[in-house]
Amino acid sequence: MSQSKNSEATTSKLWGGRFAEPTDAFVQRFTASEAFDRRLASQDIRGSLAHAKMLCAQNILSPADLAEIEAGLAQISEEIALGSFEWRVDREDVHMNIEARLTEIIGATGKKLHTGRSRNDQVATDIRLWLRESIDAVTQQLTRLQQGIVELAAEHSGTVMPGFTHLQVAQPITFGHHLMAWYEMLDRDFGRLQDCQARLNQCPLGAAALAGTTFPIDRMMTSDALGFESPTRNSLDSVSDRDFAIEFTAAAALITTHLSRMSEELVLWTSAQFAFITIPDRFCTGSSIMPQKKNPDVPELVRGKTGRINGHLMALLTLMKSQPLAYNKDNQEDKEPLFDTVQTLHDCLRAFADMVPALTPNQENMRNAALEGFATATDLADYLVRRGVTFRDAHEVVGNAVAHCVSESCRLEDLSLSTLRGFYNDIDNDVFDVLTLEGSVAARDHIGGTSPRQVAAAAASALKLLASR
C-alpha cells in the first residue's frame, strides 16, 4: 500500500519514473521557479507551437496531433490572459505547468509535445524570445529620452552656462552642448543594445538536453518560425550559454551609469547653491517635517537604482563563472536578476524620458555662474598665441593676470586695456571680444565644439537619425 502511494506521488511528476520517493515538500518549494518564470508563458507557448508544427512537418506528429495541440495551447493562452490558469508549485516551472495543463485538456496527445526537445533548450529559447522583445521596449524608451534631450538642446543651443572640470568652472559652454553630451552617451548605449540583440538572436531549440536529438528535426524551420536569424551551432553551448543575459545586463549597467551621472548633475543643478534648472513639481516630493523642501526624488532614485543593476550584473557573472558544460540547476538563478534588470531599466528610462523635456533652465543663473571662475582665461591665452606668443608663455601671462584679478576681486573682462597691456604689451581692444561669454562659445565653431551654430547642427543631425529608427 505504501509503495503504491509512493509510486503515485512520484509519477505525477513528468519526470518521476525513476524515483522511489516523492520530493520533500520544502525541496519542492525551494527548487520551483514557477513563481517568477511564469512571465515566460507566452514565449513558451510560441516555442511549443513552432516545435509542434515542425514535428508534424517531419512526420513525427500527425496532423490530428498538431490540431489538438494547437487547440489546447490556444485554450491555455486564453486561461492565462483571463487569470484563470492554475499555477502549481508542484509542477515546478512554466514549462511543466503548461505541458501538464495541456495533457489535462487534450489527453495523451499532450504528452507527445516534448518529443525531440528538453526543458534545457526550451528555457534557453524562451529567455531569448523574451529578452529580444524586452530590448525593443527598452530601446523605445531610450529613443524617447534621446528625442527629448535633443529637442531641449536645440531650444537652448545658445544658452550659456559654465563647463566644469573637477567640478570647478573651466570654460563657457552652452546648455545645449551639455545636453548633447548626454545624447552621445545614450547613443552608444543604443548601439550596445542593438549589438546584444543581434547576438542573442540565435535559436537553441533542437539542442535538447545537451547533445541534440535522434529525431529527424528541422531546426531551421523552428528558427525561422520564431524569427531568429539562425539556429545555434553547438548543442552543448546552446543550453548552457547565458552570455546574452550578461551582455544585456552589462549594457543596462552602462545605461544606468550614464543616467546616474545625469542624475548627479540634476541634483546639483536643482540645489540652491547652483539653481541652474527647475524640475516640475510632478517629478519631486516634499519633506515630512520641512515644509520648504522640494526634493529631486526621480534623479536621486535613478542614481540609486544604478547600484541595483550593477549588483545584478555581478550576480550573473558570478553565477556563470564556475559552471561546467552543459546545463546546471544554477541557471535557474539567471531569471530574477535579468527580469528585474529589464523592469528597472525600462522604468528609469521612462522616468527620464518624461522628466527631461520638462526641465526649465534658469538662464540668468547659468550665465552669472559662467562669469565666475575666470572661464574665459583660455580664450585670452589663445588670443595671445594668435599674436605670436608661444602657448606656454601665453599660459604664464594669463596666469599672472588671473592672480591679479584674484587679489583685486575682479574679473578678466573688468580689466582695462592698459592693465592688460601691463601683462603683455601687444594687446588691442579686440581682446574684449574674446573675453565675453558669447564670444568664447561662438569661437569654438568646429565639429563637436560648443558654438551655438555647431550645437544646432548636431541637434538637427541627431533628430534626423532618431526619426530613421
The catalytic residue positions are 166, 287
Instruction: Write the DSSP string, 245-273.
Output: HHHHHHHHHHHHHHHHHHHHHHHHHHSTT
3-state secondary structure of 202: strand
- Closest CA relative to residue 34, chosen from 135, 128, 123, 134: 123
DSSP state of 439: H
CA distance 261 to 303: 8
Residues in the chain: 469
CA distance 125 to 227: 11
Name the one residue in this structure whose C-alpha cell is 520517493.
21
- Rounded alpha-carbon distances, angstroms, from residue 460 to 105, 143, 177, 211, 465: 58, 15, 13, 53, 9
CA distance 161 to 368: 8
Name the one residue in this structure whose C-alpha cell is 531610450.
142
Angle in degrees, CA 22, 26, 29, rounded to 5: 95
3-state secondary structure of 173: strand
Which amino acid is located at 198 in the chain? Answer: A
